[in-house]
Amino acid sequence: MTILDELAEYARYRTSKAKEKVSLSALKEMALSLPKGSYEFEKALKKEGDMAFICECKKASPSKGMIAEDFPYLQIAKDYEMAGADCISVLTEPRWFLGSDEYLREIAENVSIPCIRKDFTVDEYMIYEAKVLGAKAVLLICSILSGDEIKRYIEICDNLGMSALVEAHDKEEIGTAIECGARIIGVNNRNLKDFSVNTENSRKLRSLIPDDVIYVSESGIRDAKDIKALREAGVNAVLIGEALMKAADKRQMLSRLKG
């Protein structure tokens, strides 16, 4: 099993345990009782003539281990907002990323920019959870979902007024994402099977994405030089985690990345 397989398997286990406490029907009722969203996440990424920045709150990762021993997640999120981030990505995966649903709930309640729940969505239950926690978007990863699942999960998101960031790693997965009606496609520059990173992946695959689809480059973006190359390639948005999490002054770092 690759680490991605393990992450997906553990997400299924977590979901089965969550269902023992709150049933799918009860959670769905809670989510649908909330005001329907207005696709705030994808609207925030549509910046005419400019690149949007999704900034990540992440304590640890499988590839790097502990990234932020000291993790004042709420202050980090507020710093991102003040620095001009367009959206915030919040890790909720607890084992490898040391994330928490509570991080998402608190951040979503205390910032005015939209949050995406960064987790390994393997069940519709997790989408309703994300809605109840205050997220405006969820991550759907082509490598762990079938085309039928992606289509169904996008439909559930639409029913809730949420966005789906559909993550692909290669030409075939991009084809699947487009076929499934993805409005936001992210290319992860980190191969989750062996953790190698190559931002050339985002540039190489750009031509495959239709103009009306928001294109996001994820992972491995370290400096303004990387941003410049991605901007020139026509990337609409970037998701940045480690470079910001390791910076002592996150506001200054984001300002530098924005050029």
| Known active-site residue 167 | yes
Q: At 53, is the secondary structure helix, strand, or coil? A: strand
Question: What does the pLDDT read at residue 248?
Answer: 85
Q: Which of 81, 93, 124, 167 is catalytic?
A: 167
CB count within 10 Å of CB 172 equals: 10
CB atoms closer than 10 angstroms to residue 35: 7
The catalytic position among 28, 40, 42, 56 is 56
Q: What pLDDT, on the 0 to 100 scale, is given for residue 192?
A: 65
Instruction: Give φ, ψ of 251 to 5 degrees.
Output: -65, -45
From start to end of the chain, where are the E strands? 52-57, 60-61, 65-66, 87-91, 115-118, 137-141, 163-168, 184-188, 214-218, 237-240
> What span, in angstroms and rounded, lies between the C-alpha atoms of 117 and 164?
10
**Structural domain that includes position 180:** 3-258
Cα separation, 19 vs 15, in Å, equals 6
How far apart, in whole angstroms, are the C-alpha atoms of residue 160 and residue 34? 9
Catalytic-labelled residue, pool 42, 59, 61, 118: 118
Q: What is the DSSP letter of 36?
A: P
* Catalytic residue status for 159: no
Phi, psi of 155 (to 5 degrees): -60, -40
What totals of helices (H) and strands (E) does the chain contain, helices first?
12, 10
Q: Say what the pLDDT of residue 193 is.
A: 66
Nearest to 135 by CA among 173, 162, 170: 162
Give the CATH number, domain containing residue 121.
3.20.20.70
Q: What's the average pLDDT block by block, 10 residues per block, for the chain (259 residues)?
A: 92 98 98 98 91 95 88 95 95 97 98 98 98 98 97 98 96 96 92 72 90 93 89 94 87 87
3-state secondary structure of 190: strand
58 is catalytic: yes
Active-site residue, from 89, 201, 202, 219: 219
- Say how many residues make up the chain: 259
Residue 40 bears catalytic tag? no
Identify the bridge partners of residue 66 per DSSP, sorted by sequence position. Answer: 60
CA–CA distance, 34 with 133 (Å, rounded to integer): 11
Q: Which of 129, 173, 218, 242 is catalytic?
A: 218
Q: Which amino acid is at 47?
A: K
Annotation says 38 is catalytic:
no
Query: Which residues are paired to 126 by β-bridges?
Result: none
Residue 219 annotated as catalytic: yes
Domain count, the chain: 1
Active site residue 136: no
The pLDDT of residue 6 is 94
Catalytic: which of 28, 58, 136, 250?
58
Name the catalytic one among 188, 201, 217, 236: 188
pLDDT value of position 49: 77
**φ, ψ at 72 (rounded to 5°):** -80, 75
Residue 32: in which H helix or E strand, if any? Answer: helix 24-33
Give which of 246, 137, 117, 139 is closest to 192, Cα–Cα. 139
- The token duo for 144 is 């762990």
Query: How far is it, in rounded angstroms, from Cα 184 to Cα 115?
Result: 15
